[in-house]
Amino acid sequence: MGVLYIVRHGQAPAHAYGPDADTVGGPGLTELGFAQARATGEALAAQVPQFDAMFCGDLPRQQATMAGILEAFPDAGAPTIDPDWNEYTTPALPEADDIYRGGGKPFQDAITRALHEWVDGADTGPETYAAYAARTRAAADRAAAAAGSGKTVLVVSSAGSITQLVAQLWDVPGRSWPQMSRTFVNTSVTKVLAGGRGMTLVSLNAHDHVSALGSELMSYR
């Protein structure tokens, strides 16, 4: 039986979530995000001598997090970049673009409505919800296959995609899935066993390695 350690990315700058996320340059993480990634790498290195395979999406915040983690694994090779681990693209919102930057309850309410419509089949993004769910599961299946027997695999992804996988493993209804990611801590670790009977969730959103260093390292975006 193999093990997947699936890490949410570190804190990202606000523009990483807006409608212009693909066109704005700059580092993939904030300074806090880089610190979170390094702390996660040190915590994982205390548990796992080396990873047999590594995967991450191609979003800057995901790749920067992987790089920060791997500072604790100097002999590690290059991770496999698998865009199917990318977060969903936020569905189009009727409100002005600056709602992305305002954050808070107005943003959360707007994105929840948009996600519910998307899950219900609305064509409001570059891909359908069904396609997103399918590619997330396909990425997880590839990572599980790499785990093999007794191997360990590191994955860096995003809260939506990690909880989407968990929702599928637990048969959580699509409309309830978005709620799962709201309290996902940056660089939290979700552990999944992969065996002949499929994947089994062991732990979700574990973040003791971050909280132990002080509340100032905790973030959710």
Q: What is the pLDDT of residues 63-80, one digit of tens each?
A: 999 999 999 999 999 999
* Sheet with strand 189-195: strands edge to edge: 80-81, 53-56, 152-157, 2-8, 189-195, 198-206
Amino acid 144: pLDDT = 97
pLDDT for residue 18? 54
How confident is the model over 164-192, as pLDDT tens digits? 999 999 999 999 999 999 899 999 999 99
Q: How far is CA 116 from the centre of its chain?
A: 20
CATH of the domain at 198: 3.40.50.1240
**Residue 101 covered by a domain:** no
**In this structure, is residue 127 part of a structural domain?**
no
Is residue 117 domain-resident?
no
- What's the rounded Cα separation, in Å, for the pair 124 and 95? 14
Give the pLDDT confidence score for residue 16 in this predicted structure: 67
Quick one: CA dihedral 57, 18, 131, 6, positive or negative?
positive
Residues 6+ apart with CB under 8 A from 50: 73, 75, 76, 152
Token digits of residue 176: 């309830």
pLDDT-derived band at 125 (thresholds 50, 70, 90) equals confident
More confident: 94 or 107:
107
**Residues 117-125: what's their mean pLDDT?**
88
Domain that holds residue 149: 2-88+133-217
pTM: 0.91
**pLDDT on residue 23:** 43
Flag whether 19 is in a domain: yes
Percent of the chain with pLDDT over 90: 71
Q: Is the pLDDT assigned to residue 194 strictly greater than 50?
A: yes
pLDDT at 96 exceeding the cut of 50: no
Asked whether the predicted pLDDT for residue 17 surpasses 80, the reply is: no
Does the residue 126 lie in any domain? no
Q: What pLDDT is recorded for position 36? A: 96
Number of domains observed in the structure of the chain: 1
Tell me whether residue 68 is in a domain.
Answer: yes
Residue 128 domain flag: no
Inside any domain, residue 192: yes
**Which of residues 98 and 139 earns the better pLDDT score?**
139
Beta strands in the chain (DSSP E): 2-8, 53-56, 80-81, 152-157, 189-195, 198-206
